[in-house]
Amino acid sequence: MMSTRDKEEQEDELLALASIYEEDEFKRAESAPGGEISICLELPPNFKVIVHGDEKQNKKDLIEYVVSFLPPLVLNFELPPDYPSGSAPKYTLSCKWLFQAQLSVLCVHLDRIWKDNGNCVVLFSWMQFLKEETLSFLLIKSPLEIQGNSEKKSDGTYSNNKDKEFGSRNKPKNLKEFPLDPRAIQDVESWACVLREILDFDQNQQQKVFNSKMFTCSVCFYEKLGIDCMHFKECKHVYCKACLKEYFEIQIRDGNVQCLNCPEPKCTSIATPAQVKELVREETFARYDRLLLQSTLDLMTDVVYCPRTVCKSVVMLEPGNTMGFCPGCRYAFCALCEMAYHGISPCRLRAEKLSALRDEYLKADESGRQRLEKSYGRRVLQKAVEELCSQEWLDKNSKPCPRCGTNIQKVNGCNKMTCTGCKQYFCWLCIRPLSKVNPYSHFSDSSSPCFNELFQGIEFEAEEDFLSDEDDDGIV
């Protein structure tokens, strides 16, 4: 039966815990005297976590994670009627990253603290021990090794295949020999989930600490709470959400989805998709997501787009195969020239494709040229270079006949030209056909755009040149 003194001491202890700890650390039970205490351990700086997935795994291949917080130890307790004068609190101790044997050792030590306390209230002493001494008591140091190949037993617990020694006298030094306490609960669905639980909790706690601090935005220079700010993961530069929202929306509107980097000059940190989604509007994020996917696919050598303008579906190429087969419109095409698939026959590239290919080939180094020659064929590339160089020379130094299209070069003479192919007269200045009866009327008619321009652009060295060139057609 509960005495008045026990009842008062229980109530005072529960009120004291509620006043000292926040709601996420201590939750008092509503129906009975008791509650739940979550104890976050105090970790030293630069505390690391590593995972062993296989005993034979090379330690050089392991990845280390630096964490500031570990998931808490959870003490669920109920105060019996004769606590603290006669009985200790009834409790369970659970954790996501400690073995049941390790938790059992802690339970034994909590019982010892109760006995050494002389039948006085003990919850605060338990919390202080768990918070400040758990790591040293269990001889846990950085890096914390998560053993991922522990086998699950029939009772739902996990066996530990690593020998651990503990720093308290009169306790078994080998963890395998220590009896498991039913009050010790390993609170994890599978041992493979432990690392994810640790990293998620660490991130959430760090965000909680960040939200409570004050920061000066490096864009607007206003001082704001962390909950109204955001920082880039790599560089840790902090900006207010209002400034970043405007910055992100401008970049996305302009299509620069790969450039959502930290506004700090020369900083290369990139915003994560989750950060972008938190700040911008839903339709803006949809555009960002679509452009980001497209730009990512563009960088993949085994991904192309269907060349049909009405389709443009994403097509995956088989390794070493140049044939693309569109899953949308079922069009089979060559991934090199984007024409209908032609098997082993050489590609017939369009003029613009040849021009771009020629430029890439001329600018490439030796290995780059070999790669292009392997893809398109050396003869195709050399022919493209020769033909395009010839075409560029013709475009610069000749003009096409307005009747048959033959390229005509003007060496000297007046601006009345005669085509060597079809014998058509035409004006060199405006490329218009001229009358066969009187081709010079084009230059003497005041309504003509080339009025009095028969000799425009010609430099005469002497009067004799003028007289001798007057009737020369300057034909090539």
Catalytic center residues: 414
Number of neighbours of residue 134 by Cβ within 10 angstroms: 20
136 burial class (0-12, 13-18, 19+ CB within 10 angstroms)?
A: exposed
Any idea what DSSP says for residue 415?
A: S
Whether 443 contacts 451, CB under 8 Å: yes
Q: Which amino acid is at 388?
A: L
Task: Report the alpha-carbon distance of residue 223 to residue 239 in Å, rounded.
Answer: 10
Question: Distance (Å, rounded) from C-alpha 217 to C-alpha 223?
Answer: 6
**421 three-state secondary structure:** coil
Q: Which residues pair with 74 in a beta bridge?
A: 38, 94
Q: Based on C-alpha coordinates, what's the Rg of the chain?
A: 41
Taking every pair of Cα atoms in the chain, the longest distance, rounded to a whole number of angstroms, is: 139
Q: Give kind and range of the element (H or E) at residue 286.
A: helix 282-298
Backbone angles phi, psi at 425, to 5 degrees: -80, 140
Which residue from 107, 236, 81 is spatially nearest to 166, judged by alpha carbons? 107
Helices (H), 332-408: 351-363, 366-376, 378-397
Q: How far is CA 442 from CA 416, 431, 449, 451, in A?
A: 9, 12, 9, 7
For the four alpha carbons of 38, 39, 45 and 49, in that order, the dihedral sign comes to negative
Collect all residues with Cβ–Cβ distance below 8 Å to 328 and sequence separation of at least 6. Answer: 306, 311, 313
Q: Are 288 and 280 in contact (CB under 8 A)?
A: yes
Token reading at 353: 């494709």
Q: Residue 467 CB: number of other CB atoms within 10 A?
A: 10
CA atoms within 13 A on the CB side of 207: 12
Query: Which of 140, 45, 36 has the alpha carbon at shortest distance from 98?
Result: 140
Q: In the 8-state DSSP scheme, what is residue 338?
A: -
CA count, 13 A, side-chain hemisphere, 322: 17
Measure the CA dihedral 215/217/221/224, to 10°: -50
